[in-house]
Each structure stands twice: as structure tokens, then as C-alpha cells.
Amino acid sequence: MADSAPATAEKLPKDLAAEKGLVNVQVDDTWIQVPSGTRMIEVCKMAEKEVPHYCYHTKLSSPGNCRMCLVQMGMPSRPAPGESPSYEDDGYQQISWMPRPVIACANTVAENMGIRTTGDLVEECRNGVMEFLLINHPLDCPVCDKGGECPLQDQTVAFGPGESRFVEEKRHYEKPIPISDTVYLDRERCILCDRCTRFADDVAGDTLIHFMDRGNSTQVNTFPDEPFASYFSGNTVQICPVGALTAKPYRFKARPWDLEETISTAWIDSVGSRVTVQSSRNQVLRLLGVDADSVNWGWLSDKERFGFEALNSEDRLTAPMVRVDGRLESTGWAPALAAATDALRDVDPARIGVIGGARLTNESQYAWTKLAKGVLGTDNVDAQLGDGLPVEAVLGLPRATINQACTPGGTVILVGPDPKEDLGALFLRLRHAVVNDGTTLIELTPTRTGLSTIAGHSLHPKPGEVDLLAAALVDAVSGDARDAAGVPADAIAAAAAAISGPVTVVLGRASIAESAAITVDAAIALSQLEGVGF
């Protein structure tokens, strides 16, 4: 959804707005047209009006926990019984404002609705909410890792009371608690926004972090003696709006204003998640997910998020080296490049081979192959770890993007490794599509995967026989079901009958013990499905 919508001083004629699936909404005296059913808080964002919030997150459900997003809402007044509604000259009814505020994150807009994001009522209520949120908060910003990038800190300054009336003893908990190898919990700072628990339950499917107890004693915690052992735990740190969850690799390393930031691409797997790499004093200190709509939606696997620590390993080469008298010696880039150029200058190009990094981005791969083929004149290039598929096979298949795979009502056929283990961000996108958007998942994998519990059909062929199963599935679509690879014909027929909408195959080798030719044969079979992409 667009972040901003064209704001006009005029309302779109009612019929025209409805025809386009839009509704007229007045935000702080300006009319805008937005898709019907949009959440009020998103409409305010489109109108470039700030509404403070904590529990709301664009990629999560709206529990209405924190009550910080209060706005005043208005609707056309209802006529008294027996009376007709009165209209203004433009054909719209006058807005009557409600005497109490509503939360903007859990309510959607309707035709002719009015929203006020400021005013005495809204400001007084927000002030009260802030005061409640801060009652038990330790106010330890100077020693909190979130200081400088904390929405609670910022919004207390912007919308909160100047001083506290709370003189009683605040809650105290043991802190910080390492709830996993990488995440620390400081419960005193928690404002019970429910973001971490919703992420774990709804997005990752790892119900390992919860609220416990009730009322004033409610606290976020993990199960006794069970760590927060989720492959995606780092996302809870990123979305926690206070310093209650912190990441061990970043704790007390820097303040946000010390950090330099570079948008980049995660290099751990082939998903290509968007990340921002943050560094200080020439050392990478953390990676954060970027909300790239077509890729990872801001989520990262812990491998993507915390894998950067290898960059700071003492074993890593940090300078070019040349061999002098049989020994490798560090040198500068200019002498190293000169030595490489001298070594390559008089060599027959056919005798040169270039091995690129298998984990580089497409852009980097393009750059080094251009050097190899365009400058050195050699076709001897390779960039695989021995776990991939033949390039000619991959390039010959019709392509699909992650968004196409996650099309509501479409079908995903999984042939390959467990995405939860190897393609973390793709796992989260597929999981969302299956759970929320009615995408059908059919697994053709030798073992169960992290998606098996939500898959429509889990077919497990004997190892090395996925090609036979894929061919049988395609034949079953044409009504010719048979047993294949140890999977009974009726299970294959049921899976074939479930295929609907655009079909996307997530393709890879289930294990490197399995020949790439088997996966290629499976792909060739599945490529016969109508409109399929890979």
C-alpha cells in the first residue's frame, strides 16, 4: 500500500469514489481518498499526520494493547427516528464528532469519516496513556541500549506529561535475563505491547515467548527452562519499541548517533533480504532488516542478522597479500593489483579460470564475470559450492518472484531443502501466504520441513526419487494418478486436485547427497504445469 495518498481540499464525488473502491476521509480538515477498509492509522500516515503508537506494526495484527494511537473520530450524524438525513450542498452529511477517542490501529475507515489527530481531547488522553505506560517503567534511558532510537523515549518527550505523579515503589524484576544465546530480556522496561509475542506466534510460528500472570503483574517471559530458541528471535529485538529485548552482539557497543549506515543485501542465503548494515569505527556492529515489500518485509533469520560477526573474526583477511620469496605478505591494493595484472598479462586466456563467491549479490556476480569474460577473455568461470543446480537448467526455467509465489489463492510446490533451515526470510513470507492469504502449499520433500504443519499436502518421496513424484503429480493433474516414489496414488491425486491459481515451484536440492540431475528432472516435469514459474 502506498505510504501517502494525494490529499485534496475537495471530496471525490461519492459515486466516483465508490466506483474506484475508495472512500472519502477527512483527516485534520483535509479530505483524502483511500481504499475502503484501510486502517485509520494508515490513513493518517497517508495524510502525513503523525499518530504515536507502540503495539501497531504494519506487518502484524492489531491487538489494540497500548492505547497510544488515540484519535477523535467523526461520522455523519444519524437522523432522529422519522426524520430524513440532512445533506450539505456537496451531497455529504455533516460530520458529528464522538465525545471519546478511539484507537486508530484497529479501526478501519468508512465513507465520509472524519479523523482528528490533534486537539484538546486527543492530547489529554494521550497524555494520560503515556503516564500509565511510564508508571512502572524504570526510566533508565542513560543506561538502556535503546536510548536514542526508542519510540517510548521520543514520544514521552513529544506527547507525555512533563513530570511523573507516581511516587510509589516501581516493579522490580531480575534483569537482564538471557532468554536465548543472542537475546536478553529486561522485563522492567516492557510496556506489554505484544509485538514480540505476536511475531513469535503469528509470523514465525514459534510459540516460545508469552505473557504470563495478570493485571499489574503481567510480564513477558519464556517457558521455564526453555530458551527462546527461534531461528527468527532477532526480529523481536528489532520490533520491540523499548529496550526490553536487546541483542547480545550489539549490547553496549554504540549509540545510534555513532552509527554509519549502508543499505545492502544479506549474503547468508539466496533470498537476498534487504538489510541495513550499521557500523562504528570501521567495525560492523549490527544488521537490521529493511521493509522491502518484494522481499523480506523487514524480517531476517538470525543467521542473516547475526552472521556478520564472522566479519570481525581475527582469521579474516583484511588486506591483500602477495607471495614474496614463497611467503605471503600483506601489502596495499595498488601493489597487489599490479602483481595480479603482471601475472595475468601474458597468459593464454584459455588457461585462466576465475572462481567467484557463491554468496555474492547478482550485481557483484555480474561485475566479476564481466571482468573475466570482457577483460581477461576467458569463459572458465564458476561460482558454486557444489550444492547448486546447473546454470543452463536454472536459466531455462520461467522465473517467478517471491511476491508471485505468495499470491493469494495461488499454489506453491516445494521441491528442495527446508526453507526454515536454509531460506529464512522466504520461509516467513511463505508461511504468511499460506496462513493468511489462502496460498496452497504442496511439499515434495523427502522429509518433513518447517512448513509441513501448515502444508495442504505433504508428499515425501523416497530419497533420490523426487523426479518420479513430480512427473506423477503432473500426470495426476491430467487425471492419470499412480503410485510413485513410495507415495500412494490417492495422495498424489488429492495434491493435484488442490493446485489452483498461479503455480510457483520453490526449487533446490534437498541434500547434496542427491544428484542435481534428479532435481533438474523434477523441474522439467513440473514445467509442464500451466503458467508455472520457478
| Chain contacts with ligand FES (rule: CB under 6 A) | 53-56, 64-69, 103, 105
Q: What's the farthest any 2 CA atoms get from each other in the chain? A: 103
Q: How far is the CB of 206 from ligand SF4 (least distance, A)?
A: 14
Q: How far is the CB of 102 from ligand SF4 (least distance, A)?
A: 22
Under the binding rule (CB under 6 A), the answer on residue 193 touching ligand SF4 is yes
Q: How far apart are CA 516 and CA 502, in angstroms?
A: 26
Q: How far is the CB of 24 from ligand FES (least distance, A)?
A: 23
Q: How far is the CB of 264 from ligand SF4 (least distance, A)?
A: 26
Question: Which CB atom, from 67 or from 431, has the smaller least distance to ligand FES?
Answer: 67
Among 27, 244, 434, 499, binds ligand SF4 (CB under 6 A): 244
The closest alpha carbon to 113, from 62, 58, 43, belongs to: 43
- Contact string 204-233 vs ligand SF4 (x = CB under 6 A): ----------------x-------------
Q: How far is the CB of 45 from ligand FES (least distance, A)?
A: 12
Cβ of 148: how many Cβ atoms within 10 Å? 15
Cβ of 164: how many Cβ atoms within 10 Å? 12
Report whether the peptide linkage leading into residue 488 is cis, meaning its omega lies within 30 degrees of zero.
Answer: no
Question: Which CB atom, from 199 or from 297, has the smaller least distance to ligand SF4?
Answer: 199
Q: How far is the CB of 54 from ligand FES (least distance, A)?
A: 5
Per partner kind, with CB cut-offs from 5 to 8 A, the member of ligand FES, ligand SF4, none near residue 191 is: ligand SF4
Q: How far are the Cα atoms of 287, 371, 477, 520 from residue 507, in angstroms, in the given order? A: 28, 30, 20, 9
Q: Which residues contact 365 (CB under 8 A, 6 or more apart)?
A: 356, 383
- Using CB under 6 A as the binding criterion, the count of chain residues that bind ligand SF4 stands at 13
Under the binding rule (CB under 6 A), the answer on residue 190 touching ligand SF4 is yes
The SS3 assignment for 496 reads: helix
Under the binding rule (CB under 6 A), the answer on residue 25 touching ligand SF4 is no
Q: Which residues contact 305 (CB under 8 A, 6 or more apart)?
A: 234, 235, 247, 286, 287, 288, 289
Question: Which CB atom, from 154 or from 483, has the smaller least distance to ligand SF4?
Answer: 154
Per partner kind, with CB cut-offs from 5 to 8 A, the member of ligand SF4, ligand FES, none near residue 66 is: ligand FES
Q: How far is the CB of 137 from ligand SF4 (least distance, A)?
A: 10
The closest alpha carbon to 418, from 468, 460, 465, belongs to: 460
Cβ contact 413:506 at 8 Å = yes
Under the binding rule (CB under 6 A), the answer on residue 203 touching ligand SF4 is no
Cβ of 305: how many Cβ atoms within 10 Å? 27
Amino acid at 59: K
Question: Which CB atom, from 58 or from 453, has the smaller least distance to ligand FES?
Answer: 58
Cβ contact 523:534 at 8 Å = yes
Q: How far apart are CA 299 and CA 27, in angstroms?
A: 31
Per partner kind, with CB cut-offs from 5 to 8 A, the member of ligand SF4, ligand FES, none near residue 56 is: ligand FES
Cell of 359: 554468496
Question: Which CB atom, from 58 or from 86, has the smaller least distance to ligand FES?
Answer: 58
Among 17, 200, 240, 288, binds ligand SF4 (CB under 6 A): 240
Q: Which residues contact 165 (CB under 8 A, 6 or more apart)?
A: 131
Binding residues for ligand SF4, per CB under 6 A?
190-196, 220, 240-242, 244-245
